[in-house]
Amino acid sequence: MPTITPTVKRILDAYESDNPGTKANLARILMHGALGGTGKMVILPVDQGFEHGPARSFAVNPPAYDPHYHFQLAVDAGLNAFAAPLGLIEAGADSFAGAIPTILKVNSANSLTVDKQAPTQALTAGVADALRLGCSAIGYTLYPGSDNAYDMIETLRELVIEAKEVGLAVVVWSYPRGGTLSKDGETALDICAYAAHIACLAGAHIVKVKLPTEALELPEAMAVYQSEGIVRETLAQRVAHIVQSCFAGRRLVVFSGGGHKGVSGLLDDARAIRDGGGNGSIIGRNTFQRPRDEALDLLRDLIDIYKKKP
């Protein structure tokens, strides 16, 4: 195992209540791949098959129907970790044991079952599965704002307790939606910051949010953003506000790439994440929906950006 770098050590020290098992798993993710030791991460998530169905996810690049394709892509690109639901991890866990840290996504939604007001997800795996499959972390999606948010928080709480007891890390996808939230509000700065903060308060080790827009959703928050002059013109400034909302940087926060995008847009996003002090990208469809060679090129460029100091 590589020697823990001072940067990573400083990050781990902030998880001061965690046991050595959980810190070791966080270290595994932070020390792995091309960005190992830098405190930055690029993670490959593949749960779109669950969320949107197989054809919409993989038909554009048919080799991606095979679970092994994704494990191999993450390994070859030198990513920090690979995240996927139970069945997909099971289908490659043995072949790729030890090859790359894995994050077991323990809940999933699907586009056949939709509730606009009270969206939620089904629990499809748990901490015991993560242990038997050799994963470093569990991943959980939370919908702050949903009429089901309190139930989701309570489920998360049980997973958090269980994971921390057995030395796993917890990654929370904190995606505001449902209830009285407007569509634009889901990525508004105040809402993203709030969602990130809730995840931290609920005990997450790594928070994943969407890149925030300049919009503000809640009137009470808007008043404070204006009176206190919170800067939010540039994406880097907004990322910095999210980082601040994650216990002033004591918790790792990564950003999702969103829908299929052009390469230059993705690279610009990464620069802003880096400059704002974010810890990296979770990037799925923008990689596995391209031919493998293009995906590898893109991931190399992304990693290069994170390697540079802001």
- Nearest Cα to 278, choosing from 241, 304, 303, 308? 241
> How far, in Å, CA of 95 to CA of 90, rounded?
10
Of the CA atoms within 13 Å of residue 20, those in its CB half-sphere come to 0
On whether the CB atoms of residues 8 and 27 are closer than 8 A, the answer is yes
Q: Is 105 a catalytic residue?
A: no
Looking at residue 45, its amino acid is P
Distance in Å, CB of 14 to a copy of itself, minimum? 7
Kindly indicate which of the ranges 37-45, 75-83, 247-255, 265-273 contains the residues binding a copy of itself, using the contact rule CB under 8 A. Answer: 247-255
Q: Does 231 bind a copy of itself (CB under 8 A)?
A: no
| Interactions with a copy of itself, residue window 138-177 (CB under 8 A) | 144-147, 149-151, 153-154, 157, 160-161, 176
Kindly indicate which of the ranges 12-20, 27-35, 280-288, 296-304 contains the residues binding a copy of itself, using the contact rule CB under 8 A. Answer: 12-20
Distance in Å, CB of 1 to a copy of itself, minimum? 24
Q: Is 175 a catalytic residue?
A: yes
39 phi-psi bin (left φ>0, alpha ψ -120 to 50, beta other): left
For 6, the token pair is 């001072």
Distance in Å, CB of 279 to a copy of itself, minimum? 16
Q: Does 59 bind a copy of itself (CB under 8 A)?
A: yes
Q: Does 194 bind a copy of itself (CB under 8 A)?
A: yes
Distance in Å, CB of 105 to a copy of itself, minimum? 9
Q: Which of 6, 20, 201, 260 binds a copy of itself (CB under 8 A)?
A: 201
| Interactions with a copy of itself, residue window 22-41 (CB under 8 A) | none
Which is nearer to a copy of itself, 197 or 208 (by Cβ)? Answer: 197
Q: Does 200 bind a copy of itself (CB under 8 A)?
A: yes
Q: One symbol per residue from 111 to 140: x for binding a copy of itself (CB under 8 A), - otherwise; what is it? A: xxxx-----xxxxxxx-xx--xx-------
Q: Does 45 bind a copy of itself (CB under 8 A)?
A: no
Q: Does 77 bind a copy of itself (CB under 8 A)?
A: no
Q: Does 102 bind a copy of itself (CB under 8 A)?
A: no
Count of residues in contact with a copy of itself, rule CB under 8 A: 88
Of the CA atoms within 13 Å of residue 159, those in its CB half-sphere come to 32
Q: Does 55 bind a copy of itself (CB under 8 A)?
A: yes
Q: Which of 6, 66, 76, 294 binds a copy of itself (CB under 8 A)?
A: 66
On whether the CB atoms of residues 86 and 123 are closer than 8 A, the answer is no
> How far, in Å, CA of 154 to CA of 208, rounded?
19
Among residues 175, 194, 210, 306, which one is catalytic? 175
Q: Which of 17, 183, 262, 309 binds a copy of itself (CB under 8 A)?
A: 17
Question: Residue 309: helix, strand or coil by DSSP?
Answer: coil
| Residue 210 bridge partners (DSSP) | 256
> How far, in Å, CA of 193 to CA of 252, rounded?
14
Q: Quickly count: other Cβ atoms within 10 Å of residue 306's Cβ.
A: 22
Q: 167: which residues sit within 8 A by CB, 6+ positions away?
A: 19, 20, 21, 22, 24, 25
Which is nearer to a copy of itself, 4 or 222 (by Cβ)? Answer: 222
Render 137-197 in DSSP notation, one character per residue. Answer: EEEEEE-TTSTTHHHHHHHHHHHHHHHHHTT-EEEEEE---STT--TGGGG-HHHHHHHHH
On whether the CB atoms of residues 206 and 251 are closer than 8 A, the answer is yes
Distance in Å, CB of 244 to a copy of itself, minimum? 5
| Interactions with a copy of itself, residue window 256-285 (CB under 8 A) | none
The residues carrying an active-site annotation are 175, 208
